[in-house]
Structure 1
Amino acid sequence: MPVTMSQAFIDNFLGHSPKWFKIAILSFLIINPMVFYIDPFIAGWLLILEFIFTLAMALKCYPLQPGGLLAIEAVAVGMTSPSQVFHEIEANLEVLLLLVFMVAGIYFMKQLLLYVFTKMITKIKSKIVVSLMFCIASAFLSAFLDALTVIAVIIAVAVGFYSIYHKVASGKHFTDDHDHTSEGHQQLCENELSAFRGFLRNLLMHAGIGTALGGVCTMVGEPQNLIIAAQANWQFGEFAIRMSPVTIPVFFAGIFTCFLVEKYKVFDYGQELPSAVHKILSDYASHEDARRTNHDKMKLVIQALVGVWLIIGLAFHLASVGLIGLSVIILTTAFNGVTHEHALGKAFEEALPFTALLAVFFAIVGVIIDQQLFAPVIQWALSYEGNTQLVIFYIANGLLSMVSDNVFVGTVYINEVKAALLSGQITREQFDLLAVAINTGTNLPSVATPNGQAAFLFLLTSAIAPLIRLSYGRMVWMAVPYTIVLSIVGVLAIQFGGLEQMTQYFYDHQIITHHSVANSTSLTH
């Protein structure tokens, strides 16, 4: 029976996505203009919820297409304008360059990363110790690198582990070509593969949480940290010290939570590495050690040296993060002999779809700005005073970051607080305290959902997520213990951690140069 045009349209629309999902997206596209005509504010929040829905369905359909359709319609009906979308992309160009170049740069360092982490996995038998090492290492790296860079490293490692196991378990040798994304290999033991997937999910989630624990500490840890530091005129050391009354207790609470969930095997944690998989990875490590030539060793040395440059360049902010990533690509490829264009192109395959998705997300940000969706919350928070105001800002930032994006929330809030400072509504001292509350509020409770943190969203939409069955819902469930602990410890530290005393110490000892309200008006508005 011939297919009708309407059936062909449904079949082609969003490809192999579930039919109910296709109908839902089409319904959104029909309903949104009508709601916008009735009440633009409600339409704006409806659009946010719909976009989050597309993120939640990332394993069924990559969010770029359905989310992009919603964004295009939002611009078409007047929720925002093309100029506003371009302005948001322009303001976040550093983040986009980071994705394009830094993630590709990490691709050319994967031999070193796989070597280091394979040794860690094969030499350490305790799952708890391995989990703690992944969490702590991610936290340390995120304090000096960007969280997206760190999660890209861990994803590259996880893909390497998975492909090695999948190749050997499918009856092939380490040196054979193999498609590890194929599900058609009969030799694979389903129980063994399921346990290995669970093991990798655990490590990736611990690493993701680690990026939040370390990323909140310094001005280079998260994109919004750079924005907050710039508005407050804080340098690297001052930023870290000002955040320390909150970030230090939160860090130890997060590490302790990692230990507890692994020890008691709750929230899908505690998945052990199957002995057969451990043997495969150990054999792979021995195989690589035995066949490693001087050329291979020199490649590892070059990658290690470039890694040192990467940490130094980002820690001291010697250049834009994206440009440092570009330098990583140039240095590793030039000194390791990667000179063909097609070899370079493979490095960009992972990052570019997510870069496009982030550009679409900035269209949603444009809607939030033009429709002033967050304005009532901000004005309500500013109506309080003292420590209560700090707690309200922390909670409001956290809740909004859970449903939107912490980079956007941090940017909007610091600009609103800056405007309140310049208008005389708050003092410079209160501005500094609120900056701490905004930074910690956007970085800690936002671990609750993948859309709350760019690193989590990048993990959800990466190539590894469908391979290890890491869905949106599973990420939310596995983040629950961390969300509860980090949020509670954070709010207690804001309330009782001595932030006011720390700020007063800075002013009394004139450690900072911008200690008067008059000087603060020099901040860029």
Structure 2
Amino acid sequence: MQASLVSSIYKNFLGHAPDWYKQTIITFMVINPLIFMVSPFAAGWLLVAEFIFTLAMALKCYPLQPGGLLLIQALFIGMTSPEHMMHEIETNIEVLLLLVFMVAGIYFMKDLLLFLFTKLVIKVKNKTVLSLCFMAASAVLSAFLDALTVVAVIIAVGLGFYTIYHRVASGREFQSEHDHTADDEISAPNHGDLDKFRAFLRNLMMHSAIGTALGGVMTMVGEPQNLIIADKAAWGFGEFFLRMSPVTLPVFICGLLTALTLEKTGWFGYGAQMPKSVRSILIDYDSHMDAERTPRDNARLTLQALIGVWLVVGLAFHLAAVGLIGLSVIVLATSASGVIEEHALGKAFEEALPFTALLCVFFGVVAVIIDQGLFQPVIDWVLTYEGKTQLVMFYLANGVLSMVSDNVFVGSVYITEVTTALQKGAITRDQFDMLAVAINTGTNLPSVATPNGQAAFLFLLTSAIAPLLRLSYGRMVYMALPYTFVLTIVGLVTTYFVLFDATEMLYNLHLINHHLEMPGAVEGSH
């Protein structure tokens, strides 16, 4: 009886995840307290590695459950405290509100998004041009909006395309109910086209995700840590863009050239073309929707477009916190569309809430990183260097740490340390300005290497579309590899050879302007 009970408990544990995966998580939970008693520092790094493992195995088991179990144990054995974890959550409340409300808001604008992007995909037949359009659009939007919002839009579009083809390939009508997660009803001849379409959509998803990193690094609103850096440095929107531009503009150009090269060569899983059968279905769908569209449908699209304008304006001018703007989108879009039932509203939150819970677990891991001082030796070591070497070391140190941890946390820790050094007189203001640029670019560019580095990438990995497109952790790392190499190297080279001279030029311009503003400066200049 007892043996049967234990066997049933084991079978229920993490559901249908493979036995080797269950045994690995159990092993982690057995050894963590033992290692913590010997070396809290080593136990902290081991926990980070274990959490990364759960992310890497996201298609085997959603990371919330195994990652949450590891964090609960870490709290019990004293790696961090519930109060510190709560503090990290409160610090990042805007990110959580963004996930809860903005992603749901995008859900209620999917009709407009699908309409616009269907027209784009149908009209632009050249895959290379289409990829560059998706990347450039994601970059521009991310420079003014939040990268998570942009990725949510791209996911909604990709999921829309996938469900349309999957429904028709299964022998159903465009508007019929259908389970697009199961391929049982798809005929054998269509399986090959479905795999090719998955590869095509994977390409667009990855190009777009990289685009959010290219645009997000440019402005003070592109990523959460950018706002923190701008605040510490007392930079406005224009000055932030100008100071970053010696690094970010060359990186942006090289990012587009990388996309062009990958699509032409077909390296790293890129270059996949849309099958003719899929294009035909999308054209038929577009024609069908145009023919079936009623005046009420047109009114709905028009109102969604106006709400989209409000979304862009509200975010670009920071009229409210991003999450609150997302909440306003939900209220406006549902009111305009006539969605007033509670169960209809609930569907919009299904995508974001699991990831929101996972992100809270992640913030608990961040609390462990801080309490155990995991990054402190690296920070102390980098501050021992001087001049251009110090810039390069800050850039690389931020990049490496951002690959394994959240770039918001890494950027926040480093800019705080550098600000303290400035206040103590250990560095000059010129050094501080250059280091701030190195920190911002270092956290944003190399972090594309893994889904851990950027919340937008992690959101894509754990979204509903990832398993449909067979977009695993390993495949994301593999497909991001050429971008990681190019973005990191170009950022490093421009940091070393261009940033110092550009900052000196900006400093001289500031002195000239200051001189001209002084009484009698004009006469004196003659």
| Counterpart residue number, 1:472 | 473
Cα 1:506/1:103, change in 2 over 3 Å: farther
Aligned-residue offset at 1:501: 3.2
- Check 1:510–1:31 CA distance in 2 against 1; reply closer, same or farther (3 A cut): same
Quote the residue 2:519 is aligned against. Answer: none
**Per-residue CA distance 1:314-369 (angstroms, 9 max, x = gap):** 11111111111111111111222222211111111100000000000011000100
CA contact (8 A) 1:432 1:503 kept: no
Partner of 2:428: 427
Q: Give the C-alpha shift of residue 2 in structure 1.
A: 11
Check the 8 A contact 1:449/1:475 in 2, yes or no.
Answer: yes
Please, which runs of 5 or more residues in structure 1 have no aligned partner? 514-525
Cα separation, 2, equivalents of 1:282 and 1:3: 59
Are 1:408 and 2:409 matched, yes or no? yes
2-structure distance, mates of 1:109, 1:204? 19
Shift of 1:432: 1.4
The aligned amino acid for 1:103 is: V
Which residue of 2 is the match for residue 33 of structure 1? 33
How far apart are the structure 1 equivalents of 2:506 and 2:404?
36
Aligned to 1:87: 87
- Deviation per CA, 1:127-165, whole angstroms, max 9, x where unpaired? 111111111111111111100000000000011001000
Distance 1:424 1:118 in 2: 57
Structure 2 residues without counterparts, runs of 5 or longer: 515-526
1:187 CA displacement: 2.2
Task: Tell me, yes or no, if structure 1 residue 116 matches structure 2 residue 152.
Answer: no
Which residue identity lines up with residue 49 of structure 2 in the other structure? Answer: L
What SS does structure 1 have at the residue aligned with 2:441? helix
- Shift of the 352–503 alpha-carbon distance from structure 1 to 2, 3 Å rule, reads farther
| Match of residue 353 from structure 2 | 352
- Do residues 311 (structure 1) and 308 (structure 2) align? no
CA distance in 2, matches of 1:185, 1:133: 34
- How much has 1:502 moved relative to structure 2? 3.1
Contact 1:506–1:512 at 8 Å: present in 2 too? Answer: no
SS at match of 2:271: coil
Which residue is 1:211 aligned to? 212
Identical aligned residues as a percent: 66
| 3-state SS of paired residue (1:419) | helix
Asked if the contact 2:135–2:207 (Cα under 8 Å) also holds between the matched residues in 1, the reply is yes
Alignment of 1:209-358 (within 5 A): 209-358=210-359
Counterpart residue number, 1:443: 444
Amino acid across the alignment from 1:285: D
Asked if 2 retains the 8 angstrom alpha-carbon contact of 1:164 and 1:174, the reply is yes
CA contact (8 A) 1:245 1:499 kept: no
SS in structure 2 of the partner of residue 450 of structure 1: coil
Q: Partners of 2:430 and 2:154 in 1: how far apart? A: 39
RMSD in angstroms over aligned alpha carbons? 1.5
CA shift in 2, pair 1:204/1:512, >3 Å: farther
Match for 1:214: what amino acid? G
Q: In the alignment, what sits opposite 1:139?
A: 139
Q: Which residue of 2 aligns with 1:9?
A: 9
Tell me how far apart the structure 2 counterparts of residues 380 and 482 of structure 1 sit (CA, whole Å).
28
Deviations 1:368-397 (A, max 9, x none): 000100001001111111111111000000
1:55 matched to 2:55? The reply is yes
CA deviation profile, 1:416-443 (whole Å, cap 9, x unmatched): 1111112221122211111111110010
Letter in structure 2 aligned against 1:187: S
The DSSP-based 3-state class of the residue aligned with 1:373 is coil
TM norm structure 2: 0.95
- Give a deviation string over 1:279-330, Cα, whole Å, max 9, x none: 0011001101111111111111111111111111111111111111111111
Alignment length (residue pairs) = 513
Offset at residue 120 of structure 1 (A): 1.0
Secondary structure, counterpart of 2:267 in structure 1: coil
Report the Cα distance in structure 2 between the residues aligned to 1:432 and 1:64, rounded to whole angstroms.
39
Equivalent AA in structure 1 for residue 146 of structure 2: D
SS of equivalent to 1:228: helix
Partner residue, 1:484: 485
Counterpart CA distance in 2 for 1:176 and 1:306 is 28
Q: Name the aligned partner's letter for residue 478 of structure 1.
A: M
The answer as to whether partners of 1:144 and 1:315 remain within 8 angstroms in 2 is yes
Instruction: Measure, in 1, the Cα distance between the counterparts of 2:397 and 2:382.
Output: 8
Paired with 2:490 and 2:186, the residues of 1 have a C-alpha distance of 48
- Paired AA for residue 241 in structure 1: L
Deviation (angstroms), 1:500? 4.3
Cα distance, 1:83–1:335 mapped onto 2, change above 3 Å: same
Aligned mates of 1:484, 1:145 — CA distance in 2: 26
Asked if the contact 1:451/1:457 (under 8 Å) is kept, the reply is: yes
